[in-house]
Amino acid sequence: MERRDFLTTSLAASAFALTNQASAQSQAQTSAGKPREYYEIRKYHLQSGPQTKLTEGYVANALIPALNRLGIAPVGAFHLDFGPETPTLYLLLPSANLEALATAELRLTKDEVFMKAAEPFWNAPATAPAFQRAESSLLIAFEGWPKLTVPAATAKQGKRIFQLRTYESPSSQDHIRKVEMFHHGEFDFFQRAGCGQVFYGDTLIGPRMPSLTYMLTFADMAELNAGWDHFRNDPDWKKLSGSPRYNFESIVSNVSNLILSPTTYSQI
């Protein structure tokens, strides 16, 4: 089972070190005293066939219920529709408590209900593994958007898609200025454009740093395209992006743009 621990003890140790540097507690707050969430974005790289069904069953029937029992909720589960390396299953795990998130996989081994439900997945042999590779990134919510927003359509399992965007910056200075742009108007511009905003996160641990990731939601691709057209043509966005503070150089060096659809068992 140790070979299938996705959040290893090294990740937990790194997370604790980050926490101890910022505070004696494992909870972050905004300057106004509001709690800021942490997010794990987990990717299961799969192979079409029985492997996909095995992983889907594990996440739906074992992992998400167990995470909920640990207080990690709501958990998002998404199929990658447009982007590299399909099939891939994406999970979004939010928690206001960093310790709870960082040690979740280790604590699951003490959950007898979980261990029984997870047995087919955890005991899959090397000749027929449950997944090809798993990757995780740890983020902290933006101060100006400290808590994940669940789309209204989720409660009724309504029609919705999600856009997951990651911005990489060439330097820490550029990254800080890009995060600043969201707090200086981009949240409002997205709202005016009719884009549903789910979360915004700054990467603490992950590949290709410095970077930030955020998620938008729409009813369909037509609404997505219309929303972005509205955003790009917003005169306030043009003014902000044209400011010398933000256009003195390219403060975003690479953009990852993925389109996801929620699974039937997603809580987001």
Q: Are residues 117 and 218 in the same domain?
A: no
Asked whether residue 80 is domain-assigned, the answer is: yes
Q: Is residue 168 part of a domain?
A: yes
CA 191 to chain centre: 20
Average pLDDT of the segment spanning 19-31 = 59
Partner residues linked to 161 by β-bridges: 218
Q: What would the two tokens of residue 227 be?
A: 């929303």
The HSE-up count of residue 5 (CA atoms within 13 Å, CB side) is: 17
Rounded to the nearest 10 degrees, the angle between the axes of helix 112-122 and helix 50-58 is 170
Contact predicate 22/33, CB 8 Å? no
Tell me: do 159 and 205 sit in the same domain.
yes
Q: Are residues 25 and 115 in the same domain?
A: yes
Same domain membership, residue 119 and residue 7: yes
**111 and 217 housed in the same domain:** no
Number of domains in the chain: 2
Structural domain ending residue among the three candidates 141, 164, 181: 141
The pLDDT of 178-184, averaged and rounded, is: 98
| Rounded mean pLDDT, 37-54 | 94
Do both 19 and 120 map to the same domain?
A: yes
- Do 109 and 11 fall into the same domain? yes
The answer as to whether 215 is a domain residue is: yes
Choosing from 83, 108, 141, the residue where a domain stops is: 141
Do 129 and 168 lie in one domain? The reply is no
Tokens of 181: 């742009």
User: 41 and 17 in one domain?
Assistant: yes
Residues 109 and 216 in one domain: no
Question: pTM score, two decimals?
Answer: 0.88
The pLDDT mean for the chain works out to 91
Q: Over the stretch 147-177, which tens digit does the pLDDT of each residue have?
A: 999 999 999 889 999 999 999 999 999 999 9
What gap in Å lies between CA 241 and CA 249, rounded to an integer? 11
- Any domain includes 69: yes
Asked, for residue 29, whether it belongs to a domain, the answer is: yes
Q: Which residue segment(s) compose the domain that 8 sits in?
A: 2-141
Give residue 23's pLDDT.
43
Q: Is residue 268 part of a domain?
A: no
Rounded to whole angstroms, the Cα distance separating 29 from 118 reads: 35
Q: Which of 141, 172, 195 is the last residue of a domain?
A: 141
Q: How far apart are CA 199 and CA 211, in angstroms?
A: 14
CATH number of the domain enclosing 207: 3.30.70.100
Asked if the model's pLDDT at residue 7 lies above 60, the reply is no
81-98 pLDDT per residue, tens: 999 889 999 999 999 999
Q: Is residue 189 part of a domain?
A: yes
Q: Confidence band (pLDDT; 50, 70, 90) for 51?
A: confident
* One domain for residues 55 and 132: yes
